[in-house]
Structure 1
Amino acid sequence: MGIEGMVIVRFVVNTDGSIQDIELVRTIGGGCDELAMEVIQNSPNWNPGKIGGRTVRSRMTMPIRFRLN
């Protein structure tokens, strides 16, 4: 029997596009939680948020679906 479900990861995108404060909101176990965090940690810089043309820090919540047989 495989693992299936969604891990939800929350993190902050800084004004330079770097990522920090990564946390798990929903977990499913089986190594998927750690893998989801690793994917976010190792991702290239993101485009930072903007308000009124000004770059700002923003909090993101990302669902990552797993289906392992």
Structure 2
Amino acid sequence: MDFLQTLLVGTPEELYEGPLGKYNVNEDAKAAMTELKSCIDGLQPMHKAELIKLLVHVLGSQDGA
């Protein structure tokens, strides 16, 4: 969940220093992650909140599976 939380509310630098810090992320993956982060950051607050609720629900139901 640290990855998801950082992706949604953190910075790309926080992603690479935190949840992704133990991985060797190549430049193409970094570019894709930066683009994804930019899209998430561009969401309207209401849409971002609904996305968070959906992801928490989906990921939470997988924990119990």
**Structure 1 length as normaliser, TM-score?**
0.31
Choose between structure 1 and 2 for higher RCO, CA contacts under 8 A separated by at least 6 residues.
1
Greater share of residues in strand: 1
Give the greater-gyration-radius structure (CA): 1
**Structure 2 length as normaliser, TM-score?**
0.32
